[in-house]
A = this chain, B = another copy of it.
Amino acid sequence: MPAMNHNFAKEDFISLIYTLQDDICKSLENEDGMATFEEDAWSRPEGGGGKTRVISSGAVFEKGGVNTSVVYGEVTDTMRTQLSIAGDKWFAAGISSVIHPYNPFVPTVHFNYRMFELYNNAGEVTDRWFGGGTDLTPYYINEADIKHFHSTLQQACESVVPGSYTSWKKQCDDYFVNYHRQQERRGVGGIFYDHLRSNEKHDTMRLLGLAKSCGEAFTSAYIPIVAAHKNDTFSAEQKYWQEIRRGRYTEFNLVHDRGTLFGLKTNGRTESILMSLPPTVRFVYNYQPKPNSAEDELLQVCLHPKDWVL
């Protein structure tokens, strides 16, 4: 695989995530109209660092982050055991975001695009893979919004990898699962892919293009939904329901999410990792929405994922 010996992949990917971070923060600030992102730059002793950008107490966004990190180091025993990684050195770069709006009619959204490289002792690239995804967590079902979100992502991934949407939509449904709650999904999904390597089907340029296309689609997938609902009126009961569902979000991230747990257990920067947790959360014993209510409609969709784009 001769392409592996060039480092354009790394450089292009880093440049991509920084551009995405700037553009996405700008479009979210613009939509919020009040709050701005504040940046914490951090570095880690073992190599590399990140730029954590957090927005809080906005007019629209109660809490959110758009973070990049570019980190590298020696392959440790933990990585060998927990990630089955064979190699001497590693490199990882990624952009990761979770946005929690205040209004329960505006969904929470998450995306993450990342790449990983392994090297032998001579510094040659021995492996490289890409992963990513974007998914939506509404508190109430609005079919038109969810269809818009899915079809925007479908177009973004299929314009680079034709025929990819159906399986990546399924991988997303299969990943964000609260297994301890009868396979309840965190939300209505989106797309999710992982461990994509250069091979006869994809070269590195194409995998970079995929991250670019999906990353750039975030704004057009999400911002119109925010714009349409940020001024919707809502009741205390609807806010309460949002906080109950945020509890499920918390449960998924802390109990099941591989990235969160790996970060927390390998001395990652805790505050950047847990930026994803919702600002206010409720845990109520055995809370059940009324059958056939709008709240139950959401729950049923989380229990039984639907096809939104046909």
Contacts and interface: CB of A to CB of B under 8 A. Distances in A.
Contact of A286 (B40, B179, B247): B40
Interface in A235-271: 243, 247, 250-251, 254-255, 261, 264-265, 270-271
Given A254-B250, A254-B251, A255-B261, A285 B56 contact: yes
A65 interface: yes
A114 B243 CA distance: 33
A169 to B, nearest CB: 27
Interface residues of A, number: 31
A53 B250 CA distance: 24
A41 to B, nearest CB: 13
Given A251-B254, A270-B181, A282 B283 contact: no
Contact of A254 (B54, B254, B270): B254
A247 B254 CA distance: 12
A281 B150 CA distance: 31
Contacts of A286: 40, 54, 271
A277 interface: yes
A261 B180 CA distance: 10
Given A255-B254, A285-B54, A280 B280 contact: yes
A279 B284 contact: yes
Interface in A44-60: 54, 56
Given A255-B254, A279-B284, A280-B282, A264 B180 contact: yes
Contacts of A250: 250, 254, 281, 283
A157 interface: no
Contacts of A270: 180-181
B283 A278 contact: yes
Nearest to A253: B254
A105 to B, nearest CB: 21
Nearest to A182: B270
Q: Which among A264, A279, A283 has the greatest number of chain B C-beta atoms within 10 A?
A: A283
A70 interface: no
A261 B261 CA distance: 13
A71 interface: no
A271 B285 contact: yes
A284 B250 CA distance: 13
A274 B283 contact: yes
Nearest to A267: B180
Interface of A: 40, 54, 56, 63, 65, 179-181, 243, 247, 250-251, 254-255, 261, 264-265, 270-271, 274-275, 277-286
13 contacts: A40-B286, A54-B285, A56-B284, A65-B285, A179-B264, A179-B265, A180-B270, A254-B255, A255-B255, A255-B261, A279-B283, A281-B282, A281-B283
